[in-house]
Amino acid sequence: MRHALLLSLMIPVLLAAAPTTAPSIEQRCDKLLADWKTRLDDEHFEAVVASPFVIAGDGGMHNLERYRDGTILTARRALHASFFDKDPEQPILILLFESDEPYRRLAKKWFDDDDVPHFGFFRRDNVMLMNVGTGTGTLVHELVHALMRPDFPGAPGWFNEGLASLFEQCTLNGDSINGMVNWRLPALQRAIRDGKLRSLRELIEDDNFYRDDLVGLNYAQARYLMMYFQKTGKVRAFYIECRDHHADDPTGLKSLQAVIAPQSLDEFEKEWRAWVASLRPLSPR
């Protein structure tokens, strides 16, 4: 009787001390899809799980699988091989719209957001909304943000947008991803030619990357800085340097100087501007 009493007293303690297993990313993806099922069904969306992504769209299953296999998973593979060490611990919901009307209507209905960018965007709650009727370049851009977040959560804005913008027009081949010249180049070349482009130091040390009067040029300047590092084989080295030394180099300026050494920043910028000026813009279609 005494042993039975002791055992009955110990059971709650043992149960309380038993370790709990956190849900896997796959289980979290399944739960996220279940949570969204009614909303997606109401709008005739198809959906698939490809951990860490839950991908849903209004263009039918064929298109959804094409985006999943041809862009999302291919880009994820190359980005992790090239840059990122840590995988997302939380699922990423990707909502793909084939045209502008449902993109804007459902951004308002589902997120109370009535001021959305033309192409798409990544929200801080791990949701991407993409108007893929405009192409898939922005889809890769926003994937960079989503996948960089767990690996380099404190990335300075100019670098975060520079790396993401680099791949908004890119080639994907197995473990490699390469940014290509895109529509941002002419404005950057014009600013250099007219003496209106501020220095790289000013870009990097400005804590308001998104200021209205400079945001377009800021994106272009940061993008083509990343493309120059890609050309010279230093884009991965710069990512790692910037990420691993973020605590004592929050802007990334010291990391840039370390990667370009023994060149001075002024020497490097002169060389970079000459390279930008030499690039040929995309031919109009």
Query: Could you state, in order of their start, the residue ranges of all structural domains in the chain?
Result: 25-151, 178-278
**Which listed CATH number (3.40.30.160, 3.30.565.10, 1.10.3720.10, 3.30.360.10) goes with 25-151?**
3.40.30.160
| Predicted local confidence at residue 164, as pLDDT | 97
What is the chain's mean pLDDT, rounded? 93
Judged against a pLDDT cut of 60, whether residue 233 lies above it is answered with yes
Is residue 168 within 8 A of residue 140, CB to CB? The reply is yes
Q: Position of tokens 């980005």?
A: 79
Angle at 247 between CA 242 and CA 251, to 5 degrees: 55
d(CA 186, CA 176): 26
Residue 85, both tokens: 């060490």
Amino acid sitting at position 155:
A
φ and ψ at residue 61, rounded to 5 degrees: -65, -35
**Residues 6 or more apart from 72 whose CB is under 8 A from it?**
50, 53, 55, 94, 139, 143
| Predicted local confidence at residue 12, as pLDDT | 54
Is residue 68 within 8 A of residue 79, CB to CB? The reply is no
Judged against a pLDDT cut of 70, whether residue 167 lies above it is answered with yes
| Average pLDDT rounded to a whole number, residues 177-194 | 97
d(CA 250, CA 246): 5
| Predicted local confidence at residue 275, as pLDDT | 98
pLDDT digits (tens, 9 = 90+) for 116-148: 999 999 998 999 999 999 889 899 999 999 999
Per-residue pLDDT band at 281 (split at 50, 70, 90): confident
| Predicted local confidence at residue 194, as pLDDT | 97
Judged against a pLDDT cut of 90, whether residue 203 lies above it is answered with yes
CB 198: neighbour CB atoms within 10 A? 13
Judged against a pLDDT cut of 60, whether residue 2 lies above it is answered with no
Instruction: Kindly give the pairing relationship between strand 53-57 and strand 120-122.
Output: unpaired
Alpha helix positions (H), the chain: 2-17, 25-42, 60-67, 73-82, 100-111, 137-151, 157-166, 185-193, 200-205, 215-231, 235-244, 253-260, 265-278
Per-residue pLDDT band at 18 (split at 50, 70, 90): low
| Predicted local confidence at residue 7, as pLDDT | 47
| Predicted local confidence at residue 282, as pLDDT | 76
| Predicted local confidence at residue 20, as pLDDT | 73
| Predicted local confidence at residue 5, as pLDDT | 47
Q: Would you say the C-alpha torsion 20, 25, 30, 36 has a positive or negative sign?
A: positive
d(CA 258, CA 164): 22
pTM tops 0.95, yes or no: no
Three-class SS of residue 194? coil
Is residue 104 within 8 A of residue 126, CB to CB? The reply is no
| Average pLDDT rounded to a whole number, residues 70-80 | 97
Q: In this predicted structure, which of 82-86, 114-118, 181-185, 222-226 has the lowest mean pLDDT?
A: 114-118
